[in-house]
Amino acid sequence: MPKTMYDKIWEGHVVEQRSDNVALLYIDRHLVHEVTSPQAFEGLRVSGRTIRRPDSIIAVPDHNVPTKDRHKPNPDPMSTAQLAALEANAKEFDLDYIPMDDVRQGIVHVVGPELGFTQPGVTLVCGDSHTSTHGAFGALAFGIGTSEVEHVLATQTLVLKKSKNMRVTVTGELPVGCSAKDVALAIIGRIGTAGGTGHVIEYAGPVIEALSMEGRMTLCNMSIEAGARAGLVAPDEKTFEYLKGRPYAPKAGQWDAAVSYWASLRSDEGAKFDREVLIDGSEIVPLVTWGTSPEDVAPVTGTIPLVESFKDRAKQEGVVKALEYMGLAEGTPITDIKVDRVFVGSCTNSRIEDLREAAAVIKGRKVAGHIIEAMIVPGSGLVKEQAEAEGLDKIFTEAGFEWREPGCSMCLAMNPDKAGPGEHVASTSNRNFVSRQGPGARTHLVSPAMAAAAAIAGHFVDVRDF
């Protein structure tokens, strides 16, 4: 029977079948950061357990780390304690640990791929929902809770229920001015934030094939915003090319065997998907979120929808609450929304291609006078190095942007980077939830090009006219 890529990776990792759709699944790769791991390590100590395969783990701090003044003491004692706990645990359990002052340090979901740790066909977990990012390589990658982190550390497995198969096919050709972020938002706008619940989404079609690895990571990153624990893209020549020579990638003697295994992973012709979604990529336009759920998207050329346009009563109530929080009225043109702050960064959009995309818009221009702060936060020290080698940092700072050190930064405001109450933020991150970027902050999710254009114009603007 023809199989999907998800079926193949799943079946290749079953240690024990428990019942019809529940299995003990083997986990190949584990990324660990400071926020969701301390209680797991403590659990191991309390039960006198050890880590089964330290060689399957990379530990790196990202959520809490300050993105400037790193040489100064961290002003937050609780962050300091959490960062210290990660370092101490990595040492005690003998893990590959990347400290804050290492050039490889960055956001886990940027670091894993960059080091070649993320590979096609592996099962990869992390105590972070955006682990779905790594599906861009054809890895079965998903976020887990802290109890599961402990379970993986101790047993190298998880007890899991198999998800259903869903395929999102994006046809045609993506218009100029649109990027992977717009594709992700278009999909979430179509199927909703619960549209992928219980499913693994495979992204397919010419638009996906044409995306770079960075673009595929952006797309898979936001699978969780569509409710799917994992996203997948079939590995191809671009994937192999990206991985070749990276530190954790297979070495010369094993490379050919690895590639032929990776090439066998794609979904078979005629494989059955439980749900299929078809999107015409040629019709995608730059999108902006106006509410407090990533499904609240509107084209930059459009308006905030009318409350009565939503059929469901509960959703109508949600929209009223969201607009109240956002300080916006239904029917308002998107380009009338003024922006107070701009953030280019996060595990969604902080890779070299994202920074190039922003720089192309920013070059030779200035940040609008009323913008409180516009910052660009590279996803890792290696991305930062590359951007500086290309002179992108100069383009940013000359325009009035701040150029920071790598970390999760203002995506989730658990470090010094925050937005103030009532401020509208043009953000390349993944969640526009209430108070996500700081208490009372109003987040609008956009692509790097759209965030850059908003910084220059001072309000949302169609980057295609820019």
Hey, which residues between 403 and 422 contact other proteins (CB under 8 A)?
Answer: 412-414, 421
Task: Tell how strand 157-161 and strand 22-26 pair up.
Answer: antiparallel
CA distances from 123 to 28, 29, 111, 243, 272 (A): 5, 6, 17, 17, 22
Stretch that binds other proteins, among 166-174, 192-200, 370-378, 386-394 (CB under 8 A): 192-200
Task: Tell how strand 341-344 and strand 373-376 pair up.
Answer: parallel
- Asked if 227 is part of the footprint of other proteins (rule: CB under 8 A), the reply reads yes
Cα–Cα distance, 394 to 390 (Å, whole number): 9
Q: In the chain, helix, strand, coil percent, each to 5? A: 40, 20, 45
Hey, which residues between 312 and 351 contact other proteins (CB under 8 A)?
Answer: 314-315, 317-318, 321
- Asked if 263 is part of the footprint of other proteins (rule: CB under 8 A), the reply reads no
Stretch that binds other proteins, among 3-11, 174-182, 395-403, 429-437 (CB under 8 A): 429-437
Cα–Cα distance, 409 to 383 (Å, whole number): 15
In the chain, how many H helices and how many E strands?
15, 19
Cα–Cα distance, 219 to 137 (Å, whole number): 12
Q: Nearest Cα to 132, choosing from 207, 186, 201?
A: 201
DSSP three-state, residue 158 = strand
Q: Out of 151, 216, 266, 444, name the contact with other proteins by CB under 8 A.
A: 151
Closest CB 145 distance from other proteins, rounded Å: 4
Nearer to other proteins, 262 or 401 (CB): 262
DSSP three-state, residue 462 = coil
Hey, which residues between 60 and 79 contact other proteins (CB under 8 A)?
Answer: 63-64, 76, 78-79
Cα dihedral angle (150, 154, 157, 159), rounded to 10 degrees?
-60
Q: Nearest Cα to 215, choosing from 354, 113, 384?
A: 354
Cα–Cα distance, 50 to 28 (Å, whole number): 17
Stretch that binds other proteins, among 16-24, 179-187, 270-278, 449-457 (CB under 8 A): 16-24
- Asked if 18 is part of the footprint of other proteins (rule: CB under 8 A), the reply reads yes
Nearer to other proteins, 193 or 212 (CB): 193
In sequence order, the β-bridge partners of residue 168 are: 203, 277
Nearer to other proteins, 156 or 350 (CB): 156
Hey, which residues between 207 and 226 contact other proteins (CB under 8 A)?
Answer: 224
The 277-296 site mask, x for binding other proteins (CB under 8 A), equals ----------------x-x-
- Asked if 22 is part of the footprint of other proteins (rule: CB under 8 A), the reply reads yes
Nearer to other proteins, 194 or 389 (CB): 194
Hey, which residues between 27 and 56 contact other proteins (CB under 8 A)?
Answer: 28, 35-36, 38-39, 42, 47, 49, 52, 55
Nearer to other proteins, 82 or 169 (CB): 82
- Asked if 240 is part of the footprint of other proteins (rule: CB under 8 A), the reply reads no
Closest CB 176 distance from other proteins, rounded Å: 32
Tell me how many residues contact other proteins (CB under 8 A).
80
Cα dihedral angle (112, 384, 218, 271), rounded to 10 degrees?
-40
- Asked if 111 is part of the footprint of other proteins (rule: CB under 8 A), the reply reads no
Q: Out of 4, 67, 118, 156, name the contact with other proteins by CB under 8 A.
A: 156
Q: Nearest Cα to 70, choosing from 406, 316, 391, 433?
A: 406
